[in-house]
Every structure is written in C-alpha cells, then in structure tokens.
Copies of this chain bind each other. A is one copy, B any other.
Amino acid sequence: MIKAYLEENKDRFLNELFDLIRIPSVSADPKHKDDMRRAAAFVKDKLLAAGLDAAEVIDTAGHPVVFGEKIIDSAKPTVLVYGHYDVQPADPFELWHTPPFEPTIRNERIYARGACDDKGQFYMHVKAIEGMIAGGNLPCNVKVMIEGEEEVGSEHLGTFVAENRDRLKADVILISDTSIINNDTPSIESGLRGLSYVEVEVTGPNRDLHSGVYGGGVENPINVLCRMIASLKDEQGRITIPGFYDKVAELSTDERTELAKAPFDEAEYIHDLGLNAVAGEAGYSTPERTSIRPTLDVNGIWGGYTGEGAKTVLPAKAHAKISMRLVPNQDPDEITELFSRHFQAIAPSTVTVKVMPHHGGLPYVTPTDSVEFEAASKAFEEAWGKKPIPTRGGGSIPIVALFEQELGIKSILMGFGLDADALHSPNESYGLFNFFKGIETIPYFYKHYAELKK
C-alpha cells in the first residue's frame, strides 16, 4: 500500500527514529525528567508532521502522555495505536559496545536503548500512518496514544484513560511491543503474562556489625534472605506460596498441542544464551514455561559490602527485588498480597521483614477468532506471504488489560521484534528489516480491518 512512499523516504524515517532514540527518556530515573518532556514533544511534533489533525502533550501526575488523532469518517472503524516513548535504564553501561543513546548500525541492526522497545516499534506506526495519509488511502480513523511510564508500570495511565474515555473511544487498540518468531516466520502474540513486583527488606541488627565479634551469635540478614528466597520454589521448580496457583487457568491438551506447533529450536536457544542447559517447572516445555506458566524471579539482590576487596561485615540489612509473571486468571494485587503474607510468615523471628509492592499488571489473552485478529493475520499474509502463527508471550504489557477493563476495547499485539533484540539488556537492537517491514505491513491491517468491519 505504501511501499513506494516508504522507499522514497527510508533515510528520513531512519534519521527521525535516531533523533528520537538519542533522547535518553529513562522513566525510572528522576534525573531524566527533562528528557522525558523532550521526547514527548518530539513525538507530538512528528505526529503532526505525519498528517494527524491534532496532537498534544498532556500532563499527568507523572510523565506526560502524547495524544493525536485524525478522524476521516465517523462511520469508519477507529484504530487506537498505543506505544511508549520511555525506555529501560541502560545500565550496566560498561557492557554496551557503543553508547546506549547513540544509535549505531551494525550487521543491518540498530543498536541503542529503545531501538526496539519501544521507539523503533511505535515509530513504525507513525510512519505507516504518514504513508497512508500521503497516499490518500487511510481507511480508518486513527488515534495515537504514546505514554511515558510503561517501563515503570504505567502508574498514571489508568487515571488518564478514565479521564479521557470519550477521546479514546475506538474499535481496536494496536500495539507493537512484542516479537515475531523470526524474520521468516511471522507471528502474533495472542497472550501476555501479568506481573507482580515487590521489593523486600530483611533487617537483623540495628547496625552493620563486625562479623568476627558477632558472627555465629547474631543471625545474618543476607543468609536469612537467601534462605527465604530459596524456599519460594521447590525442587520441581514450582512456587511454594500458598494459593499461588489457585486461579491459574490450565491449558487443555489440545491448546498445548496447538501452541506447540510454533517452531522452537531449543538447541539454538541454549546456544544463543550461552547456557549449559535450560531449567524450569517440571512437566512443561521451555516455550510453555515462558508463556503459559507463572514464574518467580529475583531481579535484583544486594546487601553488605559489595565493593573491591574484602570487608568482614555482618550487615544490618539485605534487600531484593522480586517479580512474578502471571497467567490468566491470576490477579496481580491478590498475588502480591499472597506473596507478602507468605514472606512475612516464613521470616524467622530473628529478623524483621518489609515488603513494598511495586506496579503490577493483569495477564491478558486475546481471542484469535475475532475480526481484529483476522485483520492482523491478513495483514501479515499480504505483506509477508504467509499466515502468522499465534503465540503466547512471556512479557507483560499491563496496560492491555486496563484498556479492556476501562474502555471495553481489545488489543492486537502486532509487534515486529525478535528475541535477539535483547530488550532490557545491554546492546539492545532492532533490525532494519523489521523496522521497514513493519511500516510496510501495518497499513494492511487498516485495509483489512476496514473491509471486515463493513
């Protein structure tokens, strides 16, 4: 639909994306507050330049939301595009081969923080919309909502959505923040895991102690934290928090067989990640463990002396950040409550424990027999020459369940990333192929959706 336009404007598209990437819009870090605003303003400008009738930066109690729209005909279906302009922190910096906020092309891939997650991905939509408007063939109304807090839990988006229900009225939400199986095997994620995230603090003595004078007589909070964390999973890889699995919707054998059709090369997976072996919940395959089963991971742990050399301290405190990925129908608030209660209960009497909840997110599954899903499937078929495989994703996009709850709108996860993009890691990247192929594919969604909704 817009292939010619794309060809003519490739370089400009890429340069604009690079300019966006260069703004270090790290939502988790207060010292990047101004960069967040700069990025929002940039996105707004580009939406207007793409041809939207209106676009603005809307303040929230946190980072602003960018909203823009072009209404062509109220009788046509309306597509609401969602993305986020904020990115993960880039540390550890020393592991990046090129600076994280200076996009560099190597092996036909763009290396930078946010190259894929989510700037490269959402910007494809801005360019696809531009292409359709320039070609005079935008078949649906389009609204674009790009927020700035996805990486820190979209804390203020719920309020924004509740306060802007009319403005956000649409028939489908289109999101590019997921991946395809590989560049020869397009796929659409039909499900996302939910998230429960907590920070725990274990306190022993009221100050750091000399581990010779007190070691052996005073319980060490680090040793205790390790014991408590170790007890959270049993030898089968199952989480031991009472009630944790109660609401998990087990997949039927048929469903598992269907999902197992998606190609997965475990030897390559192991090789690519430099592992000796995979491991996880007994009775499930690796793709199942990373999509349809809930998990528990320690994302960070610290306590005592961690600098150079040796220090014989018995520290007062030990800390950890722990998150759990959830599946339907687990509820993040309930899981966080179960975790907190259990973690307090297993704490030995020698320490005091604090559990501080962070953001959570509901798990989400979208029906593969909907008009929306079919439009996306046809878009891939037309642009790629093959039907996409439905997959269940491991990651979370908490806002998706929120959208359905608050706006009654389903989301289609039409992402173009790859596992090799190394989201959240150093040396994140996005393929030039994927960026341009996405721009080419997206308009077909609009085309087919308009047709199917007639």
17 extra A-B contacts, CB within 8 A, seeds A89-B305, A299-B315: A29-B309, A95-B208, A195-B312, A199-B310, A208-B425, A210-B424, A215-B394, A217-B278, A218-B273, A218-B275, A218-B280, A220-B298, A222-B300, A230-B231, A276-B349, A298-B304, A299-B311
Q: How many residues of A contact B (CB 8 A)?
A: 102
Give Cα A427–Cα B206 distance, bound, in whole angstroms.
Answer: 12
Q: What are the interface flags for A207-223 relative to B under an 8 Å C-beta threshold, 1 for contact and 0 otherwise?
A: 11111111111111011
Q: Which of A10-18, A318-326, A334-342, A401-409 contacts B (4 or more CB under 8 A)?
A: A318-326
From A293, A310, A359, residue with most partner B Cβ within 10 Å:
A310
Out of B89, B290, B299, B427, name the residue touching A214 (CB < 8 Å): B290
Give Cα A439–Cα B299 distance, bound, in whole angstroms.
Answer: 52
CB-defined contacts of A227 to chain B, threshold 8 Å: 226, 229-230
Q: Decide: A226 and B217 in contact? CB cutoff 8 A.
A: no
* A102 beta carbon closer than 8 Å to chain B: no
CB-defined contacts of A92 to chain B, threshold 8 Å: 208
The A74-127 residues at the B interface (CB cut-off 8 A) are 88-89, 91-92, 95
- Distance in Å: Cβ of A108 to nearest Cβ of chain B: 20
Known: A300-B305, A304-B298. A216 touches B293 (CB 8 A): yes
Give Cα A323–Cα B310 distance, bound, in whole angstroms.
Answer: 9
* A431 beta carbon closer than 8 Å to chain B: no
Give Cα A303–Cα B223 distance, bound, in whole angstroms.
Answer: 15
- Distance in Å: Cβ of A287 to nearest Cβ of chain B: 8
Which residues on A are within 8 Å of B, measured CB to CB? 28-30, 88-89, 91-92, 95, 151-153, 179, 193, 195, 197, 199, 204-220, 222-223, 225-227, 229-231, 233, 273-281, 286-287, 289-290, 293-315, 318-321, 323, 325, 348-352, 358-359, 393-396, 419, 422-427
Q: Decide: B426 and A208 in contact? CB cutoff 8 A.
A: yes
CB-defined contacts of A298 to chain B, threshold 8 Å: 220, 222-223, 226, 303-304
